Amino acid sequence: MTIESESSYLPEEQGTPAASKVAGFLRAMGAVVWKDLSAELRSRELLSAMLIFALLVILIFNFALDLDPATRREPTITAGVLWVIFVFAGTLGLNRSMAIEKDRGCLDGLLLAPVDRSAIYFGKALGNLVFMLMVEFIVLPIYSLLYNVNLFNPGLLLVILLGSIGYVAVGTLLATMAVQARTRDILLPILLFPVVLPVILAAVKASTGFLDGSEMDVIRPWINLLIAYDIIFSAVAFMVFDYVVEE
C-alpha cells in the first residue's frame, strides 16, 4: 500500500513544474495583453487612428468606384474592398503599437522582465488581434449600410477571424523587427505585404465564395490555406521572436 501510494504520488510531483511553467506563461501573456488594453482605454490613440483610417478608406472607395449600386454589391468587389480596408488599417495599428512601446521605453522594460520572450510575442499579437477585430466589426455594419449588402454571414466572419490571425501573427513579428529602424513606417509595409500575400489572396477568395453563395468544395481549399498559414507562421514567430527582438 505504501509503495503504491508513493508511486501514484510521483507523476503528480513530476507534472507540477510543467503545469506551473504553463501557468506562468499564460500569466505573463495575459499581463502584456492587459497592459495594452488598459493603456489604449486611457489614451484611445491606437484604436481611434485605425478606425478613422478605415472609415476614410471606405469613403475613398465609395467615391473612387463610381459604379452603379448593383455593381458595388458584386461579391468580388465587396471582398476586395473589405480586405484592402482591413490590411491598411491593420498595418497602421501594428506600426503604432510597436512604435508606442519603443518611444515610451516600454519595449526595453518588457525585455528585461523575467518571463519567456515568446509570452511577450503572443501577448502583443493577441492585443493587436483584439484591436484589429474591434475595428473590423465596426467597419462591417458601416460598410453594409453604405453599400446595401449583408456582411453578417457566419462563413465570412470565420474568414475574417482566420485572416486576421494570420495577418497579426506575421505582422507583430515584423513590426518588432522594423521598429528598431529609423524608417519603420516605410519598412513595415515593404516587409509585411509580400509575406502576407497568401493570406490576403485566400481571404479574398474565401470571402467572395461566401458572399456569392458558392459550394463549400470551392471555398474549403482557401479555408484550409488560411488555417495552415496561421499555424505555420505562428509557430515560426514563436521560434524566432527571441532572436528578432535581440537585434
- The low-confidence residues of the chain, meaning pLDDT below 50, are 1-15
Sign of the Cα torsion 146, 150, 152, 157 reads negative
pLDDT for 23 equals: 83
How many domains, the chain?
1
- Helical H segments across the chain, by residue range: 2-43, 45-64, 69-72, 75-103, 106-112, 117-147, 154-178, 184-212, 216-246
In whole angstroms, give the CA distance from residue 139 to residue 63.
Answer: 17
Phi-psi region of 105 (alpha: psi -120 to 50; beta: other; left: phi over 0): left
Q: How far is CA 175 from CA 91, 94, 106, in A?
A: 9, 6, 15
Q: What is the C-alpha to C-alpha distance for residues 38 and 110, in angstroms, rounded to an integer?
A: 16
Which residues are within 8 A (CB) of 222 and not within 5 positions of it... i.e. 6 or more apart? 202, 203, 205, 206, 209
**Residue 150 is placed in which grid cell?**
449583408
Cα separation of 38 and 44, whole Å? 10
CA–CA separation, 226 vs 198, rounded Å?
8
State the number of CA atoms in the 13 A half-sphere of 175 facing the CB. 24
Instruction: Please tell me the predicted confidence (pLDDT) of residue 68.
Output: 63
Q: Which domain holds residue 221?
A: 2-246
Q: Which residues contact 80 (CB under 8 A, 6 or more apart)?
A: 204
